[in-house]
């Protein structure tokens, strides 16, 4: 019975995550801990498994469309995988209360970022590292025309990915919002390239974290399996529905939900 409830809940989390570009992990962990009273470490481990599954399908699609900067993604994964390993060891020594507080603050930050207007911040020059490693590239626009772009602030981007990897392992999220912010704002990549490259990286980061949790015995199949399958189904339906629904109204409602849940997570951490 519990597995069916988790499956149904995960479908809803995956649907909302795909609709709003947040990913199901950011939604399912608070639900598992606050509603079903699942140990937060088991909830984080289950979320990481679902992230690996959902990221794989989307990453393949973006690669096919030539939106992912594969060379840049592989380079930045040095930071994210290292951060994920460090985050796993940190998680072994900190109390669950701190995880609740950190997750609550992350939800508040995500709510604020949902109001952020996205705009292009392109640059005409490469950072010396980008020039040496050939990290710049091009991508096709909707009309078929190819647009070239350069890459800036590579060292800062690598450091930001290290922090994103730590958060991924600590909280069971893909940290996509931080990856996109770093690539879009600091490294001056086009938004489409930032989103596609981030999606590719999310799966790799989550795989590193999930492997560590598996070795520690925190992945429980009766929790992880229905959550992963449910989020995959929900993400597929949400992606299809996104083009037909008034996203702005849904976004406004969901920001309120994020704030309420974040306050509950913070209160639970403080108590």
Q: What is the pLDDT of residues 174-217, one digit of tens each?
A: 777 788 878 888 898 887 888 788 878 888 888 888 888 888 88
Residue 116 has what DSSP assignment? P
Both structure tokens of 204 = 């790799």
Pick left, alpha or beta for residue 37 (phi over 0 → left; psi -120 to 50 → alpha; otherwise beta).
left
Q: How far apart are CA 267 and CA 263, in angstroms?
A: 6
| pLDDT (0 to 100) of residue 100 | 85
Residue bearing tokens 């690996």: 52
Q: Which residues form the domain of 179?
A: 2-270
The share of the chain scoring above pLDDT 70, in percent, equals: 86
Which range among 142-146, 154-158, 236-240 shows the weakest confidence by mean pLDDT?
236-240
Q: How far apart are CA 270 and CA 100, in angstroms?
A: 8
Answer yes or no: is pLDDT of 66 > 60.
yes
| pLDDT (0 to 100) of residue 73 | 92
| pLDDT (0 to 100) of residue 152 | 92
Greater pLDDT, 24 or 83: 83
Answer yes or no: is pLDDT of 243 > 60.
no
| pLDDT (0 to 100) of residue 244 | 63
Say how many C-beta atoms besides its own lie within 10 A of residue 61's C-beta: 13
| pLDDT (0 to 100) of residue 241 | 67
Query: Nearest CA to 21 among 205, 255, 263?
Result: 255
Average pLDDT along the chain: 82
Please report which residue ranges of 114-246 form alpha helices under DSSP H. 128-133, 154-171, 176-181, 191-216, 221-241
Average pLDDT of span 78-93: 88
| pLDDT (0 to 100) of residue 47 | 87
Residue 68 has what DSSP assignment? S
Which range among 116-120, 124-128, 158-162, 218-222 shows the weakest confidence by mean pLDDT?
116-120
The count of structural domains within the chain is 1
Average pLDDT of span 224-244: 78
Answer yes or no: is pLDDT of 118 > 70.
no
Q: How far apart are CA 232 and CA 171, in angstroms?
A: 19
E strand or H helix at 60: helix 40-64
């Amino acid at each position: 019975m519990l597995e069916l409830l988790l499956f149904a809940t995960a479908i809803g989390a995956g649907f909302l995550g795909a609709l709003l570009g947040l990913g199901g992990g950011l939604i399912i962990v608070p639900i598992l801990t606050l509603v079903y009273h699942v140990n937060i470490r088991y909830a984080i481990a289950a979320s990481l498994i679902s992230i690996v599954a959902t990221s794989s399908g989307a990453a393949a699609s973006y690669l096919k469309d030539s939106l992912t900067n594969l060379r840049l993604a592989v380079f930045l994964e040095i930071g994210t995988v290292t951060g994920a390993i460090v985050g796993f060891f940190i998680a072994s020594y900190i109390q669950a209360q701190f995880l609740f507080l950190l997750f609550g603050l992350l939800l508040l930050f995500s709510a604020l970022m949902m109001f952020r207007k996205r705009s292009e911040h392109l640059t005409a020059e490469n950072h010396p590292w980008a020039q040496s490693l050939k990290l710049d590239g091009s991508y096709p626009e909707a009309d078929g025309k190819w647009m070239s772009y350069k890459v800036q602030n590579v060292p800062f981007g690598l450091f930001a990915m290290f922090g994103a990897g730590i958060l991924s392992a600590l909280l069971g999220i893909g940290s996509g919002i931080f990856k996109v912010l770093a690539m879009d704002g600091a490294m001056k990549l086009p938004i489409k390239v930032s989103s596609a490259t981030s999606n590719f990286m999310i799966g790799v980061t989550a795989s590193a974290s999930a492997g560590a949790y598996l070795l520690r015995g925190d992945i429980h199949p009766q929790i992880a399996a229905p959550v992963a399958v449910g989020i995959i189904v929900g993400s597929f339906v949400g992606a299809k529905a996104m083009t037909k629904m008034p996203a702005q109204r849904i976004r406004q409602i969901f920001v309120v939900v994020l704030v309420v849940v974040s306050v509950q997570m913070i209160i639970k951490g403080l108590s």
